Chain A
Amino acid sequence: MSQQKSQKKPVLEVKDLRVYYETPKGDVLAVDGISFDLYQGETLGLVGESGSGKSTAAMGILQLTVPPGRIAGGQVSLDGQSLLDLPEDKLREYRWVQLALIPQGAMNSLNPTMKVSDQIRDVILAHEGAKAKNGLKERVLELLSTVGLPGRVYDLYPHELSGGMKQRACIAMAIALNPTVIVADEATSALDVVVQRVVAQTMLKVKEKLGVSMIMIGHDMGLMAQMVDRIAVMYAGKIVEIAPVRDMFADPKHPYSELLIDSVPSLKERKPLKITEGITHDPRNPPPGCIFQLRCPFVMDVCRKDAPPMQEVKPDQFVACHLYQANEDGSFIDVRDVVRNT
């Protein structure tokens, strides 16, 4: 399995990305050194509670960070090309053409005074120029049908569409130029369950049809289970665990991942509620050592001194936690098991 992965070429590589927000009392370390690869045709879920830095990370990847935010370090490369060194006019060639965004509350990002079709046409014309004018209408109609919208939407204004239809129009816009990577930031979280399901299934179909890679940002673990191949769990600006979705749900390694999965209310059985607090430390002054130490039920002395490194405890399952210690043969033991057995 891991060999397969190493042969797979990453489309998008994020290395040690840091995005800080400047405040009078010091920088808020919103994204503090995250690294991951996104492979061809893969959907990666980026989850975490509000304030964990997931949206900031997305904006950092797209180079859309605006003041008081700034990219304080790291590398983002798309197909081997580093995006951080590119001047603005070159970046424009990458954005949308290669790297498209479905923003948070996308349905409100449509221009209310323009027909849906004109807005999709705009995207195409802005990037491909006048030569794209031939067969443009057919192309827009094709895009609408790809996202499951009827042809009559072509002549409608955003206010004539329901929330789910607007959201699908935004997906049509995101795929208009056949991007390599789509970043979807909470793309379905403002919708009713049934509509959410329709939009989510549309996204899955589009992804399959175009073979595009996707980063899905969200906090709904149920939705993640339905949609993604791998999950990265973020806590206070850091990725604490990254694993294939099945491993993550079957056997989460990081105490925070465990908590996140446990906090999903079940529709199958009534369970006692699991009560937790939110991020407790000041994001300007994270404690030394592990970022999760203040809320971790298994905190040890070492967690207060050293930041845990990212370790591959199982094939493709990476976790940053001192609970897992490497044996000489390369396998890992859970410190909790050792304590239990002695």
Chain B
Amino acid sequence: MSEMLLEIRNASKIYKQRAAGGVSRDVIALQDFNLSIPKSPASIITIAGESGSGKTTLAQLVLGFTHLSSGQIIFDGQDISNADAHQMKDYRHQVQAVFQDPFGVYNPFYRVEHVFSTVISNFKLANSQASRRSLIETALNIVGLHGDDVLRKYPHQLSGGQRQRIMMARAYMISPKLIVADEPVSMVDASLRASILDVMIRLKEEIGISFLYITHDLSTAYQIGDQIYILYQGTIAEKGNTIKVIDEPKHPYVQLLVDSVPVPDPDVKWVGEINLPSDEEMRMSVNSGCRFYPRCPARMDRCLTAQPPLYKIDEVDHDASCYLYDQNEIAVVKNNP
């Protein structure tokens, strides 16, 4: 048995895109991606990045909605790409999902109760009305709700925050080991986000459920995340301990990203301006070298030749994929100041 709950090894996902005139082009959504989540202690792993960075592709791969072009996803020692239907059902028992849109996931014709009764019968979680009811009630209590208040209601009678917490309760009820949460708070009001983040922390700490938290919002990750992977166009730009990465970002892209988050203080304004190259220019370097080259303020000729590997920033838990942190490069700079 492996010590790892989830291991993603050299995962790549390439979408074929057919442009007009029959010319096809490959879109590399994820390239040679590696990630591992230990079995214990439970942790919240953030996958952050802008649109098109491959974060949702990663979620879909882990959930088994789409298949890898190459590489492996191993859950509890089992490679999920060659799992049979029975193993897949077991996998779904262990790995649950909470999605972005708390409005779209509900069928508006059914009461909230339906969400729970469906999973109970699918996974045969209860064999009597009483145990069914107590399962639902326990799950709702975990997320700070009560059955009497919500079960008989229709989805439109609930707030976005409540709906998303019910989705967390649903996932919890199945007692998974991992919840993939794809932008669970981005469509919920800022003032209500805390209630969902709080549920995530409690499920992690009290129940021992790990999270793959997919988001574009660094500040919520900063508040609850243990480890963070920041993606840029399908590759890891920087990864490590969330606090370290955000307090002292090393990769020029991550520096730009952290710098661009508006600070809620009128006396701390953005410094300087940035120019965004057009989409075509940004895609130019896709197949050779560093993806961030067209936008990078510190780019070097070397960056065009090959994708930089992850260099260790410090021994414990912080790596950046940038030649600026190659020991040889640092030596050259030191020798020629």
Contact = CB atoms under 8 A, between A and B. Distances in A.
Interface of A: 49-50, 150, 161-165, 192-198, 200-201, 219-226, 245-246, 249, 259-261, 263-267, 270-271, 273-279
Interface of B: 50-51, 144, 159-162, 189-195, 197-198, 201, 216-220, 222-224, 243, 246, 256-258, 260-270, 273-274, 276, 278-279
Given A193-B216, A278-B191, A267 B276 contact: no
16 contacts: A49-B192, A161-B279, A162-B276, A193-B261, A194-B276, A197-B270, A220-B190, A222-B263, A225-B263, A270-B222, A270-B223, A273-B201, A277-B192, A277-B195, A278-B161, A278-B162
For the residues of B in contact with A, the DSSP-based class is helix
Nearest to A250: B266
A245 B263 CA distance: 13
B186 to A, nearest CB: 10
A274 B224 CA distance: 13
B263 A201 contact: no
Nearest to A222: B262
A266 B50 contact: no
Given A194-B50, A195-B276, A267 B261 contact: yes
Contact of A275 (B195, B220, B263, B267): B195
A162 B270 contact: no
A304 B270 CA distance: 43
A276 B263 contact: no
Given A263-B191, A263-B194, A225 B262 contact: yes
A189 to B, nearest CB: 10
Question: Which 4 pairs across A and B sit closest by C-beta, in order of nearness?
Answer: A222-B262, A192-B50, A265-B219, A273-B194
Nearest to B221: A265
Contacts of B256: 194
A50 B194 contact: no
Given A49-B192, A197-B260, A162 B223 contact: no
Contact of A201 (B224, B246, B261, B270): B270
Nearest to B295: A194
Contact of B276 (A49, A193, A198): A198
Nearest to B223: A265
Contacts of A164: 276
A163 to B, nearest CB: 8
Contacts of B50: 192-195
A163 B50 CA distance: 12
A267 B263 contact: yes
A246 B266 CA distance: 6
B193 A246 contact: no
B283 to A, nearest CB: 11
Contacts of A225: 262-266, 268
B257 A193 contact: yes
Contact of B194 (A198, A219, A270, A276): A276
B223 A273 contact: yes
A132 B91 CA distance: 66
Contacts of B216: 192-193
Nearest to A156: B278
Nearest to B197: A273
Contacts of A196: 260, 262
A312 B220 CA distance: 35
B229 to A, nearest CB: 17
Contact of A194 (B192, B198, B260): B260
Nearest to B258: A267
Contacts of A275: 144, 194-195, 198
Contacts of A279: 159
Given A194-B257, A225-B265, A278-B189, A266 B222 contact: yes
A162 to B, nearest CB: 5
Contacts of A165: 278
A197 B271 CA distance: 11
Contacts of B160: 50, 278
A219 B279 CA distance: 29
Contact of A222 (B189, B197, B257, B261): B261
Contact of A246 (B219, B261, B267, B269): B267
Given A50-B160, A164-B276, A266 B194 contact: no
B243 A270 contact: yes
A49 B278 CA distance: 34
Contacts of B273: 198, 201
Given A162-B278, A194-B50, A274 B194 contact: yes
Contacts of A222: 261-264
A76 B270 CA distance: 34
Nearest to B195: A275
A249 B223 contact: no
Contact of A226 (B195, B223, B270): B270
Nearest to A195: B276
A117 B197 CA distance: 44
A224 B264 CA distance: 8
A195 B53 CA distance: 14
Of A50, A163, A267, chain B has the most CB atoms within 10 Å of the CB of A267
